[in-house]
Amino acid sequence: MHARTRLLLTGLALAFLLLVVGVAVLGFDGARELLQAGWARLQSAPAPIFFAAVTLLLALPVPASLMHVAAGTLYSVEIAIAGATLALATNALLVHVIGTTSLRPLLEEIVEGRGYRLPRLRARASQLAFIFVTRATPGPPYFLQSWALVLAGVDRLPFVLVTTAIHSLYATGFIVLGRSAFEGRLGLVGAAVAFLVLLGLVMRRVLARLRREAAAKVQDV
Protein backbone atom coordinates (compact mmCIF):
# COMPACT_ATOMS: atom_id res chain seq x y z
CA MET A 1 0.00 0.00 0.00
CA HIS A 2 1.30 3.47 -0.89
CA ALA A 3 2.69 5.44 2.05
CA ARG A 4 0.28 8.34 1.57
CA THR A 5 -2.69 5.97 1.33
CA ARG A 6 -1.58 4.22 4.51
CA LEU A 7 -1.21 7.57 6.27
CA LEU A 8 -4.68 8.68 5.15
CA LEU A 9 -6.29 5.44 6.32
CA THR A 10 -4.45 5.64 9.63
CA GLY A 11 -5.69 9.20 10.18
CA LEU A 12 -9.26 8.27 9.31
CA ALA A 13 -9.10 5.22 11.56
CA LEU A 14 -7.86 7.33 14.48
CA ALA A 15 -10.62 9.87 13.91
CA PHE A 16 -13.16 7.06 13.79
CA LEU A 17 -11.81 5.59 17.02
CA LEU A 18 -12.26 8.97 18.68
CA LEU A 19 -15.88 8.96 17.54
CA VAL A 20 -16.37 5.44 18.91
CA VAL A 21 -14.91 6.54 22.24
CA GLY A 22 -17.28 9.51 22.21
CA VAL A 23 -20.26 7.21 21.72
CA ALA A 24 -19.03 4.96 24.52
CA VAL A 25 -18.56 7.88 26.92
CA LEU A 26 -21.55 10.04 26.02
CA GLY A 27 -23.97 7.34 24.94
CA PHE A 28 -25.87 7.41 21.64
CA ASP A 29 -28.09 10.36 22.62
CA GLY A 30 -25.20 12.52 23.76
CA ALA A 31 -23.11 11.54 20.76
CA ARG A 32 -26.02 12.34 18.44
CA GLU A 33 -26.36 15.84 19.91
CA LEU A 34 -22.63 16.37 19.51
CA LEU A 35 -22.78 15.19 15.90
CA GLN A 36 -25.71 17.48 15.15
CA ALA A 37 -23.80 20.48 16.51
CA GLY A 38 -20.75 19.52 14.49
CA TRP A 39 -22.89 18.99 11.39
CA ALA A 40 -24.22 22.54 11.64
CA ARG A 41 -20.65 23.84 11.50
CA LEU A 42 -19.68 21.54 8.66
CA GLN A 43 -22.27 23.11 6.42
CA SER A 44 -20.03 26.15 6.08
CA ALA A 45 -16.84 24.14 5.59
CA PRO A 46 -14.82 23.85 2.34
CA ALA A 47 -15.65 20.83 0.18
CA PRO A 48 -12.57 18.72 1.15
CA ILE A 49 -13.33 19.10 4.86
CA PHE A 50 -17.04 18.47 4.34
CA PHE A 51 -16.54 15.24 2.41
CA ALA A 52 -13.78 14.06 4.76
CA ALA A 53 -16.33 14.40 7.56
CA VAL A 54 -18.95 12.59 5.45
CA THR A 55 -16.45 9.74 5.03
CA LEU A 56 -16.37 9.28 8.80
CA LEU A 57 -20.06 9.98 9.45
CA LEU A 58 -21.13 7.27 6.98
CA ALA A 59 -19.79 4.75 9.50
CA LEU A 60 -22.04 6.14 12.24
CA PRO A 61 -25.83 6.42 12.77
CA VAL A 62 -26.19 9.51 10.58
CA PRO A 63 -28.64 9.30 7.60
CA ALA A 64 -26.61 9.07 4.39
CA SER A 65 -29.43 10.58 2.32
CA LEU A 66 -29.43 13.78 4.41
CA MET A 67 -25.69 14.18 3.90
CA HIS A 68 -26.13 13.83 0.14
CA VAL A 69 -28.98 16.35 0.10
CA ALA A 70 -26.86 18.75 2.15
CA ALA A 71 -23.95 18.32 -0.29
CA GLY A 72 -26.27 19.26 -3.13
CA THR A 73 -27.31 22.48 -1.40
CA LEU A 74 -23.72 23.47 -0.54
CA TYR A 75 -21.81 22.70 -3.73
CA SER A 76 -22.32 22.32 -7.46
CA VAL A 77 -23.77 19.03 -8.68
CA GLU A 78 -20.45 18.01 -10.23
CA ILE A 79 -18.41 18.66 -7.08
CA ALA A 80 -21.04 17.07 -4.84
CA ILE A 81 -21.27 13.88 -6.92
CA ALA A 82 -17.48 13.55 -7.15
CA GLY A 83 -17.08 14.21 -3.42
CA ALA A 84 -19.88 11.82 -2.43
CA THR A 85 -18.51 9.03 -4.64
CA LEU A 86 -15.03 9.45 -3.18
CA ALA A 87 -16.47 9.54 0.36
CA LEU A 88 -18.46 6.34 -0.26
CA ALA A 89 -15.44 4.48 -1.62
CA THR A 90 -13.09 5.70 1.11
CA ASN A 91 -15.61 4.93 3.83
CA ALA A 92 -16.12 1.41 2.50
CA LEU A 93 -12.37 0.84 2.51
CA LEU A 94 -12.00 2.30 6.00
CA VAL A 95 -14.89 0.27 7.42
CA HIS A 96 -13.47 -2.94 5.96
CA VAL A 97 -10.02 -2.21 7.37
CA ILE A 98 -11.44 -1.49 10.84
CA GLY A 99 -13.81 -4.47 10.70
CA THR A 100 -10.92 -6.87 10.24
CA THR A 101 -8.96 -5.66 13.28
CA SER A 102 -9.22 -6.34 17.00
CA LEU A 103 -12.36 -4.16 17.09
CA ARG A 104 -14.32 -6.92 15.34
CA PRO A 105 -15.77 -8.53 18.53
CA LEU A 106 -17.08 -5.16 19.73
CA LEU A 107 -18.62 -4.40 16.34
CA GLU A 108 -20.24 -7.86 16.20
CA GLU A 109 -21.80 -7.21 19.58
CA ILE A 110 -23.20 -3.85 18.43
CA VAL A 111 -24.67 -5.23 15.18
CA GLU A 112 -26.06 -8.43 16.68
CA GLY A 113 -27.42 -6.39 19.59
CA ARG A 114 -29.74 -4.70 17.08
CA GLY A 115 -31.24 -8.03 16.08
CA TYR A 116 -29.15 -8.81 13.00
CA ARG A 117 -27.75 -12.33 12.61
CA LEU A 118 -24.54 -12.36 10.65
CA PRO A 119 -23.84 -15.10 8.10
CA ARG A 120 -20.33 -16.22 7.28
CA LEU A 121 -19.70 -16.13 3.54
CA ARG A 122 -16.69 -17.56 1.72
CA ALA A 123 -17.73 -18.16 -1.90
CA ARG A 124 -17.24 -15.07 -4.07
CA ALA A 125 -20.62 -15.51 -5.81
CA SER A 126 -22.39 -15.67 -2.43
CA GLN A 127 -20.53 -12.58 -1.28
CA LEU A 128 -21.49 -10.57 -4.37
CA ALA A 129 -25.14 -11.57 -4.06
CA PHE A 130 -25.22 -10.75 -0.35
CA ILE A 131 -23.56 -7.35 -0.87
CA PHE A 132 -25.99 -6.44 -3.63
CA VAL A 133 -29.07 -7.64 -1.73
CA THR A 134 -28.01 -5.80 1.44
CA ARG A 135 -27.16 -2.55 -0.32
CA ALA A 136 -30.23 -2.57 -2.55
CA THR A 137 -32.71 -3.40 0.22
CA PRO A 138 -34.41 -0.28 1.63
CA GLY A 139 -34.83 0.06 5.37
CA PRO A 140 -31.64 -0.83 7.26
CA PRO A 141 -29.46 2.23 7.97
CA TYR A 142 -26.43 2.60 5.71
CA PHE A 143 -23.89 2.37 8.53
CA LEU A 144 -25.48 -0.82 9.86
CA GLN A 145 -25.44 -2.38 6.40
CA SER A 146 -21.72 -1.59 6.15
CA TRP A 147 -20.76 -3.22 9.45
CA ALA A 148 -23.02 -6.23 8.86
CA LEU A 149 -21.44 -6.87 5.45
CA VAL A 150 -17.88 -6.58 6.71
CA LEU A 151 -18.56 -8.78 9.73
CA ALA A 152 -20.11 -11.37 7.41
CA GLY A 153 -16.63 -11.83 5.97
CA VAL A 154 -17.05 -10.34 2.49
CA ASP A 155 -13.84 -9.59 0.62
CA ARG A 156 -12.59 -6.02 0.45
CA LEU A 157 -12.61 -5.39 -3.30
CA PRO A 158 -16.20 -6.49 -4.08
CA PHE A 159 -17.42 -4.75 -0.93
CA VAL A 160 -15.89 -1.42 -1.97
CA LEU A 161 -16.84 -1.68 -5.65
CA VAL A 162 -20.46 -2.82 -5.26
CA THR A 163 -21.11 -0.43 -2.38
CA THR A 164 -19.75 2.55 -4.33
CA ALA A 165 -21.54 1.57 -7.55
CA ILE A 166 -24.98 1.21 -5.96
CA HIS A 167 -24.93 4.10 -3.52
CA SER A 168 -23.32 6.59 -5.89
CA LEU A 169 -26.56 6.25 -7.89
CA TYR A 170 -28.67 7.04 -4.83
CA ALA A 171 -26.26 9.83 -3.90
CA THR A 172 -26.66 11.38 -7.34
CA GLY A 173 -30.44 11.44 -6.98
CA PHE A 174 -30.34 13.03 -3.53
CA ILE A 175 -27.68 15.55 -4.57
CA VAL A 176 -29.71 16.70 -7.56
CA LEU A 177 -32.79 16.83 -5.32
CA GLY A 178 -30.98 19.02 -2.80
CA ARG A 179 -29.51 21.32 -5.43
CA SER A 180 -32.74 21.76 -7.37
CA ALA A 181 -34.72 22.41 -4.17
CA PHE A 182 -32.11 24.97 -3.10
CA GLU A 183 -32.41 26.75 -6.44
CA GLY A 184 -36.21 26.47 -6.51
CA ARG A 185 -36.27 24.44 -9.74
CA LEU A 186 -39.44 22.45 -9.21
CA GLY A 187 -39.18 20.59 -12.51
CA LEU A 188 -35.75 19.27 -11.60
CA VAL A 189 -37.01 18.38 -8.12
CA GLY A 190 -39.68 16.23 -9.75
CA ALA A 191 -37.09 14.64 -12.05
CA ALA A 192 -34.82 13.81 -9.09
CA VAL A 193 -37.71 12.26 -7.16
CA ALA A 194 -38.76 10.28 -10.24
CA PHE A 195 -35.17 9.04 -10.66
CA LEU A 196 -35.02 7.86 -7.05
CA VAL A 197 -38.40 6.13 -7.33
CA LEU A 198 -37.39 4.45 -10.60
CA LEU A 199 -34.07 3.37 -9.09
CA GLY A 200 -35.91 1.88 -6.12
CA LEU A 201 -38.27 -0.02 -8.44
CA VAL A 202 -35.38 -1.38 -10.51
CA MET A 203 -33.57 -2.52 -7.35
CA ARG A 204 -36.74 -4.17 -6.07
CA ARG A 205 -37.20 -6.00 -9.37
CA VAL A 206 -33.62 -7.27 -9.34
CA LEU A 207 -33.97 -8.33 -5.69
CA ALA A 208 -37.15 -10.26 -6.48
CA ARG A 209 -35.38 -12.06 -9.32
CA LEU A 210 -32.43 -12.96 -7.08
CA ARG A 211 -34.79 -14.35 -4.44
CA ARG A 212 -36.63 -16.46 -7.03
CA GLU A 213 -33.35 -17.84 -8.32
CA ALA A 214 -32.19 -18.60 -4.78
CA ALA A 215 -35.50 -20.36 -4.02
CA ALA A 216 -35.21 -22.41 -7.22
CA LYS A 217 -31.71 -23.55 -6.28
CA VAL A 218 -32.93 -24.65 -2.86
CA GLN A 219 -35.73 -26.70 -4.44
CA ASP A 220 -33.31 -28.36 -6.85
CA VAL A 221 -31.03 -29.51 -4.01
Distance in angstroms (rounded) separating the CA atoms of residues 66 and 86: 17
Q: How many Cβ atoms are within 10 Å of 157's Cβ, its own excluded?
A: 11
What is the tens place of the pLDDT at every residue in 138-185? 778 898 889 888 888 899 999 999 999 999 999 999 999 989 988 888
pLDDT number for residue 41:
64
Domain boundaries, the chain: 3-220
* Inter-CA distances, 9 with 36, 91, 143, Å: 24, 10, 18
pLDDT band of residue 9 (cuts 50, 70, 90) is: very low
What is the tens place of the pLDDT at every residue in 111-136? 667 666 677 777 888 888 889 988 98
pLDDT number for residue 140:
80
pTM score of the predicted model: 0.75
pLDDT number for residue 4:
46
